[in-house]
Amino acid sequence: MRNQYHGADDYLFTGTSMFDVVRSRGQMAEEAPSRMNDDRLLSTPTDDLVADIVHQQELSIPVLDRDSAWMDSSEGQIAVNDYWARGVRPGYTIKGTIIQLSVPFSGDASFFRIQPTTFNSMPPRGQVGQDAVVIRYSAVELNADQARTTLNTAIDDIEKHLVWLRQSAEPFNERLKTVVRAAIEARKAKVLRDRNSVAAIGFNLKPRTDAPKTYVAPVKRKQIAVQASKAVAPFKPEPELDEDAYEQILKIIDGMAHVMERSPTAFETMGEEALRQHFLVQLNGQFEGAASGETFNFNGKTDILIRVQDRNIFIGECKFWGGEKAFVDTITQLLNYLSWRDTKAAVIIFNRNVDFSGMLKAMEDAISKHPNLKRGPQKESETRYRCIFANPTDTNREVIATVMAFNVPKP
């Protein structure tokens, strides 16, 4: 293009091959758990480790913000190609107009130096800054239409190369989380084997052989183990409620709450403590403790809990909906009760207001705003949400909380 000015601009997309980048990042991601301190590996939740490694190794291809591009112009000396037409000898410069178009981008700037697996013999040119790529154009006699066309063509060429990079990056990013999780879990298992640690510490929830099936669908009963989680440094196993047991507990709570919904007259005068007792009866009717007839106990006014040694590994809170602030306070109180890693909880919210849909929306919004929320809320049904909260004193200690809402209208 005649009179176009490049100055000190570099050829873009001419460095290391994208093939080599993908291979190198994949290898670093798989090896990351083996380079990690073993106690940190065991004491940090797997999801957090996965997120950290993925953040470090994922391929963040730049995205141009073409609409926010801005232009600067100045007067300067320009090397010309049509020497004889202008009456100057080759190698001379002449005064003209220089345009610099800065195109902002998000993503990793280093990828402007990576060569895609698909490329051509004429890569685009430009200067790459921290958050913008600069394209230059100059002419002795500036023509606006020609300048606009030339600059847009240059942006299109850069975009084309970025698309080629994404064709390699997107499949890599999609499988990265799976690869990293597998590597972390394999490394954790090896470290545990090397330390001769056990996966359980001997606490079991045993289903009653004569358990009534009134409030829960019949299922094949099995012993419900409390597993040792991967705990603090130096590593020490801590009790954890088995996921199958947790799901069975939630099913029983769900079944009992639906009975209350269908028969509001029987429960219209009951407060939180009286409603809690109905859940305790049903739960202890399905499971029995190792040392006594009761596995589920109560502490305070509304807690339904399982204790191992001197700690709570499950807490259920029964509350009437009293607005977003009261609901958030309930979650905060629950997090302070559950201090062991990977412990599980249920928050059972009863609504006696008219607008149940509005309450559900307010409840979901309140969960999303809680300062200790790490992941979620994951909507499991129209009235049930699973959330992962961080313990207020240690973000590596997580609480799995299922929030269940039920409408118990006044008859």
Residues 2-41: pLDDT tens digits?
344 334 468 999 999 999 999 999 999 999 999 998 888 8
> For residue 138, what are the contacts with CB-CB under 8 A and spacing of at least 6?
3, 4, 5, 76, 78, 96, 97, 98, 99
Residue 221's pLDDT band, with cuts at 50, 70 and 90, is very low
Please tell me the predicted confidence (pLDDT) of residue 169: 97
Model's pTM, two decimal places?
A: 0.63
> For residue 117, what are the contacts with CB-CB under 8 A and spacing of at least 6?
17, 18, 19, 164, 167, 168
Kindly report the average pLDDT of the chain as a whole number: 81
Query: Token pair of 358, please?
Result: 């509005």
Which of residues 128 and 220 earns the better pLDDT score?
128
Do the beta carbons of residue 399 and residue 335 sit within 8 Å? yes
The residues spanned by each domain of the chain are 10-191, 208-221+242-407
Lowest mean pLDDT among 161-165, 185-189, 198-202: 198-202
Residue 245's pLDDT band, with cuts at 50, 70 and 90, is confident
CA-CA distance, 376 to 386, in Å (whole number)? 7
Lowest mean pLDDT among 48-52, 202-206, 347-351: 202-206
- Of 59, 173, 43, 45, whose CA–CA distance to 108 is shortest? 59
Please tell me the predicted confidence (pLDDT) of residue 142: 85
Q: How many CA atoms lie within 13 A of 8 on its CB side?
A: 2
Residue 236's pLDDT band, with cuts at 50, 70 and 90, is low
**pLDDT higher than threshold 80 for residue 335:** yes
- Of 159, 343, 97, whose CA–CA distance to 243 is shortest? 343
Query: Token pair of 409, please?
Result: 């209208």
**pLDDT higher than threshold 50 for residue 225:** no
Do the beta carbons of residue 132 and residue 105 sit within 8 Å? yes
Residue 341's pLDDT band, with cuts at 50, 70 and 90, is low
- Long-range own/partner contacts, residues 259-262 (CB < 8 A, 24 or more apart): 259/215, 260/350, 260/406, 260/408, 261/406, 261/407, 261/408
> For residue 118, what are the contacts with CB-CB under 8 A and spacing of at least 6?
164, 167
Residue 214's pLDDT band, with cuts at 50, 70 and 90, is very low
